[in-house]
Amino acid sequence: MKYQFLKCELDIARHELLVDGLPRKIEPQVFHLLVYLIDNRERVVSKDELVDAIWEGRIISDAAISSRISGARHAVGDDGKLQNIIRTVPRLGFRFVADVAIEDSAPPPGQGEDAGRILLPGGETRAAVEGMGIPPLPQKPTLAVLPFSSLGGDPDHSYLPGGITEDIITALSKNRWLLVLARNATISFRDQSLPPIQIANSIGADYLVSGSVRRDGDRIRINVQLIDGQSGTHVWVEKYDRSIHGIFDLQDEITETIAARIAPELETAERKRVKHKHPQSLNAWDQYLLGLAQFYTFRKEGNAQAQILFRHAIKLDADFAQAHARLAYSMLLSMVYFDSEPDPALLDEALETAQKALAIDEQDAVAHFALGRIHLARGDYAKAILNLENSVDLNPCLAPSYCGLGDALTYSGWLDEAIAQFEIAIRLSPYDPYRWAFFSYRSLAHLFLGEYEAAVEWAEKATQIPNAQYWPHAHFVAALGYLERPEKTLAAVEALLNRKPEFTRDFARQHLFYIQKEEQMKIYLEGLQRAGIPK
């Protein structure tokens, strides 16, 4: 079904808005708001009804409703002054007033048994979907960055708090799974001491970022906190001390670091939140988060369960780009980390899934990351490097992309350049769920350079991280094989075989199928042989 009005076309099946024949970006919640207003265009829809239908009865502020109405107007070329499409009826609510044409022969919206119910992609109503026991569509977490305050009253650097605030908003907005409010939504809270819950409710934010900047001589201290908007509790707090010299470079470095830390902390908070939800209330975003939690165990069973959950998310929302991307990467890791035999057909399926993610959202850094990793596994290092560089360009704060790029550069023979990328990943996100991989892959680059002490150091660090996979233990053993440390080598071999009893040199060659340079494979296998790993 398609709704056509003025220069707009709303395609329900494809979940797409066209304006003058061109696709226009629109948030899922705003899309559903438009559909609901069109379905009920013969009458005024009250705010309470919108809250029940769009927010499913959650406590929502008037400001949050106004923000979504404003977003809907902007998407279709209307505004609060013109009100040619969505009209505000004072004290009563809102009404869709533009003439609507329906392309197919389905009964007109607002009539029959589906009157007043939201049409979802595919034509089902929300009531029908809930009747089938399928959870509602995903809702991105909403984050607001409050204006950073200046402590100490230094007039020479009074611009710095505002610059940092703006840069953090820009950096966090590159995370496609996160809805970041524009600065003008929070500017009125500058210099106000209101409770976080009150601020969050007034602007419809799930999380708040706040901070302060203080100068002391030639040093500057920046305090940052991430706050849960519903409970008012701290999710994450950190302080950064830097030299004031090179102030613009400092601003870039500090905002990049802060944004890189906030994103995984926020993702972790969302995963914790969803664990307490009733299974019947889980939507596509929730299923995706549960899949991530399983994925980050880096275990065979967790990876298999993650794939199931990502597929559930895709079933609920076929245009969920990151669910496609994570599914593709999980499929790849089943061959690299776990017991699936390297299979060209499975690699092809993973490639198609990652390409699907990119077709849905070509600006998604995670989709480029997944596609780059799959190209690497297929031995196409040039394409891998291109996609991973694109991922870094699209989101310079996504630490795993630097790690993936470093890995591709390693197997291409650009070892010093690879180590530089691993250093960036480690600096940006020192507590990332992938950090064991940052250390582990870096150890390989040192190993191939003949820097055995460094290879041992980084592999051993990786083995100490709780969710580390067994490969860091193998890299540790391979590096120790080149050093005369029999007791430590024996203990490392024992630890590896306890984790992976079937590990042999042939097993390593089979599962390191993506290493194309024979000299690198020879270095690795010889290290294992010297350490006593059987053929």
Q: What is the pTM of this model?
A: 0.68
Q: Is 494 within 8 Å of 444 (Cβ atoms)?
A: no
Q: In what order do the strands lie in the sheet with 2-5?
A: 22-24, 16-19, 8-11, 2-5, 101-102
Distances (CA, A) of 514 to 378, 387, 441: 6, 17, 13
pLDDT tens digits for range 198-232? 888 878 788 999 988 888 777 888 899 999 888 88
Opening angle at CA 422, ends 252 and 516, nearest 5: 140
Burial class from Cβ neighbours inside 10 Å (0-12, 13-18, 19+) for residue 234 reads exposed
Question: How many residues are listed for the chain in this entry?
Answer: 535
Structural domains in the chain plus CATH codes: 2-131 (1.10.10.10), 142-261 (3.40.50.10610), 283-396 (1.25.40.10), 397-535 (1.25.40.10)
pLDDT tens digits for range 338-373? 877 888 999 999 999 999 999 999 989 999 999 999
What mean pLDDT is reported for the chain? 84
pLDDT at residue 152 in the model: 67
Amino acid symbol at 155? P
> Rounded to an integer, what distance in angstroms lies between the CA atom of residue 233 and that of residue 211?
15
Chain Cα centroid distance, residue 103: 36
Q: What are phi and psi of 322, to 5 degrees?
A: -70, -30
pLDDT at residue 246 in the model: 63
Query: 413 falls in which pLDDT band (50, 70, 90)?
Result: very high
pLDDT tens digits for range 368-400? 999 999 999 999 999 999 999 999 999 988 999
pLDDT at residue 323 in the model: 94
> Rounded to an integer, what distance in angstroms lies between the CA atom of residue 94 and that of residue 411?
59
> Rounded to an integer, what distance in angstroms lies between the CA atom of residue 298 and that of residue 337?
8
pLDDT at residue 501 in the model: 94
- Token pair 């979802």 is found at 120
DSSP-assigned letter for residue 156 = G
Chain Cα centroid distance, residue 104: 37
| Kind and range of the H or E run holding 180 | strand 179-180
Could you give the 3-state DSSP secondary structure of residue 186? coil
Could you give the 3-state DSSP secondary structure of residue 4? strand
CA nearest to 358, candidates 346, 374, 342: 374
Residue 456 pLDDT > 70: yes
Three state DSSP letters for 44-72: CECHHHHHHHHCCCCCCCHHHHHHHHHHH
pLDDT at residue 131 in the model: 37
> Rounded to an integer, what distance in angstroms lies between the CA atom of residue 23 and that of residue 132?
31
Of the two residues 24 and 439, the one the predictor is more confident about is 439
Which residues, in sequence order, are CB contacts of 355 under 8 Å at separation 6+?
371
